[in-house]
């Protein structure tokens, strides 16, 4: 079987949670002996994963260029995986035209229209924002993203909370969605005992790609409102902030005298996480699941986060293993208590291991996904007949996208003549 993945960017597992989630999806199909090819119109970063070393082929592609048509026509993939809805918009019509029998899967990473709506609401309120008004949620961004979901045969959703939003608010048929959170190897008892103990750990940590708006907002909220309250209770404490692509405005707020340290890029996020006593994730807006919190679970590092951070991170059998606080005062108090209380710290750590191993087990999610794909390939004709709305959207909206792409290509060709 052949899988073609069309990436918004090349996977960077050390830079973002989206990067290692995409890599896990690719590994899922490789473990089931699929041939996997990854393509992207993005430039290749030095931080990208070594895909050929994992038995995955790489191929650069161009936007608005018919060269992709001949490429995909020759490749004839059985399944095409679009990394975020913009790639489905760009290449979906070309895949349908040249490989009509290929199963088309969209991976949203997170529901970006929800993240954007919450961002706009948080800018106005300055508070943690989970619920947003329908007039803000039903944006042009949402129309594009939900349309891509409806045009696809299947969409992979990282959060059950987002599945609920799509089915209840946007009325998306559940048969078009599949729950696929982070897929990770379990942390066994031996690995747990080899981690640094509480008394061997120092300082607070915060981590996240600085290019991701919720992460930068969290850094600013820490600096301006939360960290001064923590330092008042713990005068010797330090907060070490790590993340890929730190801009000058981030390094400018590094203040050693206040224990507020901008560390920037970490060669290994897990190594710095293992050395920290408490992880801080004061997210005021966002969507999906938070990789920094999942990493902390695996490293045995208890976290303090907001209701945004904890969203989708538990189920009916296993609750979120740490304090949840949505105001600077409550967040600082929870952080100081968790840092100082050995019993509470150990309780949160052990509950975190249970949540990690139960909620994000690679094998169970990989098996469920490949089984779903196999079933859909056998029933694809009926599945598409059941999705008349998707067929209607492909008929209308993809025509406009097709003609725009062809116009841009013709314009570029004329410019180069």
Residue 113: both structure tokens together: 């229209």
DSSP 3-state helix, strand, coil percentages of the chain (rounded to 5)?
55, 15, 35
In angstroms and rounded to an integer, the radius of gyration of the C-alpha atoms of the chain is: 22
Cα(52)–Cα(55) distance, integer angstroms: 5
DSSP-derived 3-state class of residue 157? strand
Cα(414)–Cα(407) distance, integer angstroms: 11
Q: Which homologous superfamily does the CATH classification assign to the domain defined by 189-359?
A: Glycogen Phosphorylase B; (3.40.50.2000)
Pairing of strands 79-83, 103-107: parallel
Check if the beta carbon of residue 355 is closer than 8 Å to that of residue 184. no
Cα(302)–Cα(338) distance, integer angstroms: 8
What is the rounded end-to-end Cα distance, in angstroms, of the chain?
Answer: 41
Q: Note the pLDDT tens digit of each residue in 59-70.
A: 999 998 989 999
Domain boundaries, the chain: 2-183+362-416, 189-359
Q: Which homologous superfamily does the CATH classification assign to the domain defined by 2-183+362-416?
A: Glycogen Phosphorylase B; (3.40.50.2000)
Tell me how many degrees the CA angle 61-64-67 measures, rounded to the nearest 5: 50
Closest among 205, 124, 230, 107 to 159, alpha carbons compared: 107
**CA dihedral of 94, 99, 105, 107, whole degrees rounded to 10:** -40
Closest among 202, 212, 269 to 236, alpha carbons compared: 202
- Token pair 């410019």 is found at 415
Average pLDDT, the chain: 93
Cα(154)–Cα(287) distance, integer angstroms: 20
Q: What is the pLDDT, as a whole number, of residue 397?
A: 61
Cα(415)–Cα(29) distance, integer angstroms: 42
Q: Residue ranges of the chain with pLDDT lower than 70?
A: 397-403, 411, 413-417
Q: Any residues with CB less than 8 A from the CB of 2 and at least 6 apart, and which?
A: 34, 35, 36, 37, 75, 76, 77, 78, 79
Two domains, one topology: 2-183+362-416 and 189-359: yes
């Amino acid at each position: 079987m052949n899988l073609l993945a069309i990436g918004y960017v090349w996977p960077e597992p050390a830079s973002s949670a989206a990067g290692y989630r995409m890599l896990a999806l690719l590994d899922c199909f490789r473990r089931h002996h699929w041939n996997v090819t990854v393509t992207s119109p993005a430039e290749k970063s030095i931080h990208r994963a070594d895909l050929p070393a994992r038995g995955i082929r790489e191929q650069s592609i161009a936007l608005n260029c018919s060269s992709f048509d001949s490429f995909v026509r020759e490749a004839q993939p059985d399944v095409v995986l679009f990394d975020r809805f913009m790639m489905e918009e760009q290449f979906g019509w070309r895949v349908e035209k040249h490989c009509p029998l290929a199963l088309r899967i969209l991976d949203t990473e997170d529901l970006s229209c929800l993240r954007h709506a919450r961002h706009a609401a948080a800018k106005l309120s300055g508070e943690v924002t989970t619920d947003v008004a329908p007039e803000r949620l039903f944006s042009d961004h949402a129309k594009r993203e939900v349309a891509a979901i409806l045009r696809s045969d299947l969409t992979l959703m990282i959060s059950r909370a987002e599945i609920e939003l799509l089915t209840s608010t946007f009325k998306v048929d559940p048969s078009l969605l599949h729950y696929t959170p982070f897929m990770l190897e379990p942390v066994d008892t031996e690995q747990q005992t080899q981690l640094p103990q509480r008394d061997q750990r120092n300082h607070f940590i915060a981590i996240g790609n600085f290019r991701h708006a919720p992460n930068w907002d969290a850094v600013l909220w820490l600096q301006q409102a939360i960290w001064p309250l923590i330092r008042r209770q713990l005068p010797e404490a330090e907060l070490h902030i790590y993340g890929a692509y730190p801009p000058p405005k981030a390094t400018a707020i590094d203040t050693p005298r206040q224990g507020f340290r901008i560390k920037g890029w970490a060669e290994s996020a897990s190594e710095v996480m293992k050395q920290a006593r408490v992880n801080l994730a004061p997210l005021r807006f966002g969507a999906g699941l938070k990789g920094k919190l999942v990493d902390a679970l695996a490293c045995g590092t208890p976290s303090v986060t907001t209701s945004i951070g904890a969203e989708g991170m538990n189920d009916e059998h296993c609750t979120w293993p740490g304090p949840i606080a949505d105001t600077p005062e409550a967040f600082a108090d929870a952080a100081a208590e968790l840092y100082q209380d050995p019993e509470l710290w150990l309780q949160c750590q052990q509950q975190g291991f249970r949540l990690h191993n139960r909620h994000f087990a690679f094998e169970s999610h990989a098996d469920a996904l490949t089984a779903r794909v196999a079933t859909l390939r056998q029933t694809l004709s009926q599945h598409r007949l059941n999705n008349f709305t998707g067929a209607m959207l492909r008929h209308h909206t993809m025509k406009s996208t097709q003609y725009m792409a062809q116009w841009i290509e013709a314009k570029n060709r004329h410019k180069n003549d």
